[in-house]
Amino acid sequence: MSKPAPGHKDATYHTECTGQALETVKAHSSPSELTLFGACFCPFVHRVWIALEYLQAPYQYREVDPYKKPADLLELNPKGLVPALKLSNGKGLAESTVILEYIDEKYGGGKGGKSLLPPLSDPYDRAVYRLAVDKVNRTLIPSFYRYLQAQEVEAQLEGAKEFTSNLADFVRSMPGSKGFWNGQGLSIVDCTVAPWLYRATNVLRHFRGFEPKELLEPELFERWESWSSTVFEHDAFKATTSTDDLYLDSYVRYSQNRPMTSQVADAINKGRGLP
Ligand SMILES: N[C@@H](CCC(=O)N[C@@H](CS)C(=O)NCC(=O)O)C(=O)O
């Protein structure tokens, strides 16, 4: 039988990266100071992976299937979720936003002075970045899943409205007038949100017909285009991104809101926050 078309209802989630992400996996296949336990389709992993590449941290990439929960993943993160980061002393770290801050504190400000957060000498500015991260985690990202998991037409229209309104809020609140969120360089806020906004351009477009040009006011659309072309064309983003077919196939289950899809899908269906 021939392979189903990308995003076909019978397609299943992938278990290996494709495209440039696969090249990066190959280049990071030897034991290193850090081991990133990841899954090729996972946006939470994508966040951390972008940061590891950007800060040129020493890491090995280890692909795991988080739905099968191998024993070494459970040892690092008893919830069995990816990303999980194994440190050189064998200890594990979980939660993508915590890992992002850890990587930045440990490897940021190093080579080329790159950092995902303002310097420690600016605690207020750092708090502003964290507030932006917290806001997208509580609003924009859950609304991505509600939109994608909605089955009835009315619920999908409501999903489009909610997601667009959160996207508009995010774009409007960018401190920079063009390019990255802060108008200067890649930050923790870009890393936090980019994996879902990228999936909005392929997954939401494919399954829900999401078209930012039709939904955002012209001024906001211009800022969105400037942000998305800057971030999606950034080397660290491209190096950690697979080809579109991988995302379309891996999100079929969400688009059909199949039972047992994932802890994220369950939490959304139960009206809870992200796991
Ligand atoms: N709050 C976690 C969420 C991680 C998460 O939900 N990862 C998904 C893959 S995208 C997972 O491991 N799912 C396994 C499951 O649902 O059992 C984080 O930010 O790291």
Ligand 1: distance of its center to the CA of 96 in Å? 9
Ligand 1 near 274 CB (within 6 A): yes
Enumerate the H helices of the chain as residue ranges. Answer: 19-27, 43-54, 71-76, 96-107, 123-138, 140-149, 153-172, 188-199, 205-208, 212-215, 218-232, 235-238, 244-250, 252-255, 263-269
Model confidence at 1, in pLDDT bands (50, 70, 90)?
Answer: low
How much is the pLDDT for 118?
A: 95
Task: Find the length of the chain.
Answer: 275
Peptide bond between residue 259 and the one before it cis (omega within 30 degrees of 0)? no
Model confidence at 112, in pLDDT bands (50, 70, 90)?
Answer: confident
pLDDT digits (tens, 9 = 90+) for 232-248: 999 999 999 999 999 99
pLDDT digits (tens, 9 = 90+) for 91-111: 999 999 999 999 999 999 866
How much is the pLDDT for 142?
A: 97
Lowest-confidence region among 3-17, 68-82, 157-171: 3-17
Model confidence at 273, in pLDDT bands (50, 70, 90)?
Answer: confident
Contact 173, 131 (CB under 8 A): no
Question: In whole numbers, what is the pLDDT of the chain averaged over residues?
Answer: 96
Ligand 1 near 250 CB (within 6 A): no
How much is the pLDDT for 111?
A: 66
How much is the pLDDT for 45?
A: 98
Q: Which of 165, 159, 133, 168 is nearest to 254 (CA)?
A: 159
Mean per-residue pLDDT, 105-127: 90
Using the predicted structure, report yes or no on whether residue 226 has a pLDDT greater than 70. Answer: yes
Contact 132, 173 (CB under 8 A): yes
Mean per-residue pLDDT, 169-191: 98
Residue type, 177: S
Model confidence at 10, in pLDDT bands (50, 70, 90)?
Answer: confident
How much is the pLDDT for 274?
A: 87
**Ligand 1 atom, smallest distance to 79 CA:** 17
Which residue puts its alpha carbon closest to atom 2 of ligand 1? 95
Ligand 1 near 267 CB (within 6 A): no
Ligand 1 near 44 CB (within 6 A): yes
Which residue puts its alpha carbon closest to atom 12 of ligand 1? 81
Identify any residues that bridge with 127 across adjacent strands, giving them in sequence order. Answer: none
Which domains can be identified in the chain, with CATH numbers? 19-113 (3.40.30.10), 123-269 (1.20.1050.10)
As a whole number of angstroms, the distance between CA 20 and CA 198 comes to 15
Lowest-confidence region among 37-41, 62-66, 119-123, 221-225: 119-123
What angle is formed at CA 161 by the lines to CA 157 and CA 163, rounded to 5 degrees?
Answer: 115
